[in-house]
Amino acid sequence: MTQTIAAQATTIATFKSLKCKECGAEYEPKATHVCEFCFGPLEVAYDYDALRRTVTRETIQAGPNSIWRYRPFLPVATNNPIDVGTGMTPLVRANRLARRLGLKKLYIKNDAVNMPTLSFKDRVVSVALTRARELGFSTVSCASTGNLANSTAAIAAHAGLDCCVFIPADLEAGKVLGTLIYGPTVMAVQGNYDQVNRLCCEVANTHGWGFVNINLRPYYSEGSKTLGYEVIEQLGWELPDRIVAPLASGSLFTKIYKGFREFIEVGLVEEKHVRFSGAQAEGCSPIAQAFREERDFIKPVKPSTIAKSIAIGNPADGVYALEIARKTGGNIESVNDAEIVEGIKLLAETEGIFTETAGGTTVAVLKKLVEAGKIDPEETTVVYITGNGLKTQEAVQGYIGEPLTIEPKLESFERALERAQTLDRLEWQQVLV
Ligand SMILES: *Cc1c(COP(=O)(O)O)cnc(C)c1O
């Protein structure tokens, strides 16, 4: 009995401090995210020597079937994290999509089926709320483009934390409903995400709440590293040659990179050169524009695209994402709304995966890069699908045909079937000419 209590009381934290990404100043791991000296962003620093000594492939494989199998690489001090089954989503060998595009070895990392709210945001929120609880917050919050609000509300409900989330007022119905159902306070702000975020920064200063992507951002963002770890483990402890991922703030992109580097650093995977390709929607592509114009700074833009979940006009980690794309020999590309819809349909028709607009953006960028000869067909390529299409149904409405309405009679069915087959043949003839 006493032993159990003692074990629980022992801190098992493997992280030491928060460190400024710009000047290296160190801070105690509290709820803070900006350097007091240079205003650079803070990032969690770990004791990698200790991790190298204590973590092996076997200790990871013996862990839970969720992101928490990588707990020593995550910034929480409890051995009892909030585990709602987040992570360990399928890595699917996408042969039909690969053949369509002319690639040899293509994989989809499918976070469209992540738990509990069907987007990659469940990863970052599981980590942020576990840390929020450790730091003593009773109310959690976020500035969201939709998916983050879904995750924060759901996981807060599970953990018994009070929750108030902020979203732009014009979000898709599925995203709004998928937040309200968990019973948080929802503030629909009449403005775009960047305005929502600015408001939330002020609220964070005055209300003492834990904002997962503001004052808890250093912890939150570490959750995305698990998208890197899982791919390594699911490829049989190997790195791919290339990844393609969507960019909103750029955080996810930079943290997949950090995850890969960490596993190399502690000897869990052999070093390999991985190229990083990023995807943005043309209607909100400040990072792709900077890449194209060879700038090392981001010019903020006003978003206008159907890909609302990645519509951040002033991306916090934009410059770091640029740096990674450049130094790995990757690229950052954008596609328009019509291409995004085509991307959603292409993935659905070839692989049976229904993704949201962010995933449509990523698939369309993959296609564009292959067609431009910027991806070698021999490369092992992993494409990150980060959200579920059921949440953004508006985007494809009117582009996917209609069901055939028939009478409950055999002859009505036969007539409709014949019409459908004729239409199919005509479509094929059009493709062939
Ligand atoms: C938030 C989000 C992203 C990108 O997140 P960042 O880390 O801000 O770049 C990508 N896809 C989906 C579906 C998202 O909700």
Atom 11 (ligand 1) nearest CA: 386
Pairing of strands 91-93, 105-110: antiparallel
Distance (Å) from CA 360 to ligand 1 centroid? 13
Distance (Å) from CA 121 to ligand 1 centroid? 7
Residues of the chain with pLDDT under 70: 1-11, 431-433
Q: Three-state SS for 405?
A: coil
Q: Three-state SS for 225?
A: helix
pLDDT of residue 67: 98
Instruction: Tokens 């955080």: give the residue.
Output: 251
DSSP 69: G
Q: What is the pLDDT of residues 161-209, one digit of tens each?
A: 999 999 999 999 999 999 999 999 999 999 999 999 999 999 998 999 9
C-alpha distances out from residue 19 to 15, 41, 66, Å: 11, 8, 27
Pocket residue to mutate for ligand 1, from 317, 386, 388, 391, most atoms within 8 A of Cβ: 386
Distance (Å) from CA 256 to ligand 1 centroid? 12
Q: Centre a 10 Å sphere on the Cβ of residue 132 and count the other Cβ atoms it contains.
A: 29
pLDDT of residue 423: 84
Distance (Å) from CA 227 to ligand 1 centroid? 12
DSSP 166: E
Q: Where are the domains of the chain?
A: 91-117+221-395, 405-433
- Site residues for ligand 1, CB cut-off 6 Å: 119, 121, 145, 147, 246-253, 309-310, 356, 358, 386-387
From CA 213, how far away is CA 282, in angstroms rounded? 24
pLDDT of residue 431: 64
What is the residue-wise DSSP string for 307-357? -GGG--SS-TTHHHHHHHHHHTT-EEEEE-HHHHHHHHHHHHHHHS--B-H
Distance (Å) from CA 411 to ligand 1 centroid? 49
pLDDT of residue 329: 98
C-alpha distances out from residue 312 to 2, 143, 226, 250, 303, Å: 51, 11, 23, 9, 7
pLDDT of residue 432: 63
Looking from the CA of residue 147, the nearest atom of ligand 1 is 15
pLDDT of residue 9: 40
Q: What is the pLDDT of residues 308-354, one digit of tens each?
A: 999 999 999 999 999 999 999 999 999 999 999 999 999 999 999 99
From CA 312, how far away is CA 248, in angstroms rounded? 5
pLDDT of residue 114: 98
From CA 354, how far away is CA 341, in angstroms rounded? 11
CA proximity to 20, closest of 41, 45, 44: 41
Atom 12 (ligand 1) nearest CA: 386
Predicted structure pTM score: 0.95
- Mean pLDDT (the chain, rounded): 95
From CA 58, how far away is CA 254, in angstroms rounded? 27
User: Are 381 and 416 within 8 A, CB to CB?
Assistant: no
Atom 8 (ligand 1) nearest CA: 249
Which CATH architecture is the domain 91-117+221-395 placed in? 3-Layer(aba) Sandwich (3.40)
Looking from the CA of residue 321, the nearest atom of ligand 1 is 9
pLDDT of residue 378: 96
pLDDT of residue 11: 60
